Amino acid sequence: MSQQLQGFIFDLDGVVVFTDKYHYLGWKRLADTQGWQLDEALGHQLRGVSRIPALEVILQHNGVSLSEDEKHRLAEIKNEYYKAYLHDINENDLYPGAVAFVELVRERGIKTALASASKNAETVLEALRLTHLFDAVVTGNDITRSKPDPQVFLLAAERLEVEPSRCVVFEDAYSGIEAARNAGMQAVGVGERDRLPNAPLCITDYSELSLGDLIERGLD
Ligand code: B16
Ligand code: MG
């Protein structure tokens, strides 16, 4: 295969579905019940970060220290808040153009993977009937290390049977862009440039990308 890129790896929350908003609201509700400060700027720092490490970011920001048991208890409460938002999830929560873009990628013969730090990722994929779009799915249930560790993306590439250097990752999180780079992969930031200063390229709309050029030349 002469193409430079052979695997497209998509993060879920904030890249395919606007569940990033529900993660934030879940943490915000927990913080409010505990009297902790949490604003949108801190919320952006939680993007892509696994459940307990995300809670630890909030605790550190508020100068609070808790036992491991208490952390797990509170993280579970946030997860219940998050899952309640998922009950009403529907097509309006899809990132505009994302599904059509993944379909276009697949029509070009490129393999696709979903790689999310979320343990709820499969629930979201099934609720919105998205599972068939991906040749491989890696979720928070498959990994032990949070982004910026590259584990989630390296496992996705392994399951796609594509070399990491031939993969591009789509990510809305600073930590996720770092994880992609740590995996030796190319990375496209999805979202506003000011919160993704580490992304070589940033888009807010998938139609901004020239797919043929990206596949053939990558981002270099
Ligand atoms: P859960 P992604 C990440 O998903 C979210 O961005 C992050 O906010 C969340 O804390 C993390 O999943 C863990 O999610 O508590 O559902 O296991 O962006 O990697 O698709
Ligand atoms: Mg994300």
**Final residue of a domain: which of 33, 58, 88?**
88
- 155 located within any domain: yes
Check if 23 has its Cβ closer than 6 Å to any atom of ligand 1: yes
Q: Which ligand is nearest to the CA of 140?
A: 1
Domain total for the chain?
2
Say which DSSP state 169 is in.
E
Give the span between the Cα atoms of 209 and 220, in whole angstroms.
14
Give the domain CATH number at 120: 3.40.50.1000
Cα 128 from Cα 200, distance rounded (Å):
30
At residue 2, the pLDDT reads: 45
Query: Domain of 42: which CATH number?
Result: 1.10.150.240
Residues 104 and 202 in one domain: yes
Which residue out of 72, 94, 114, 116 has the highest number of ligand 1 atoms within 8 Å of its CB and is therefore the one to mutate?
116
The answer to the question of residue 1 being in a domain is: no
pLDDT confidence of residue 220: 67
Grouping H, G, I as helix, E, B as strand and the rest as coil, residue 67 is: coil
pTM score, whole prediction? 0.95
Helices 68-86 and 51-61, packing angle to 10 deg: 110
Mutate to test the pocket of ligand 1, among 72, 81, 118 (most ligand atoms within 8 A of CB): 118
- Residue 162, Cα to own-chain centre: how many angstroms? 20
Q: Do residues 104 and 70 both lie within one domain?
A: no
Question: Can you tell me the distance from the alpha carbon of 127 to that of 87, in angstroms, rounded to the nearest whole number?
Answer: 9
67 and 142 share one domain: no
The pLDDT value recorded for residue 219 is 86
Question: Closest residue (by CA) to atom 15 of ligand 1?
Answer: 51
DSSP secondary structure code for residue 199 in this structure: -
Ligand 1 lined by 118 (C-beta under 6 Å): yes
Whether residue 111 sits in one domain with residue 201:
yes
DSSP letters of 95-133? PTTHHHHHHHHHHTT-EEEEE-S-TTHHHHHHHTT-GGG
Q: Going residue by residue through the chain (220 aa), what tens digit of pLDDT does each one get? A: 445 999 999 999 999 999 999 999 999 999 999 999 999 999 999 999 999 999 999 999 999 999 999 999 999 999 999 999 999 999 999 999 999 999 999 999 999 999 999 999 999 999 999 999 999 999 999 999 999 999 999 999 999 999 999 999 999 999 999 999 999 999 999 999 999 999 999 999 999 999 999 999 888 6
CA of 47 to the centre of ligand 1 (A): 7
- Between CA 80 and CA 150 the distance in angstroms is 27
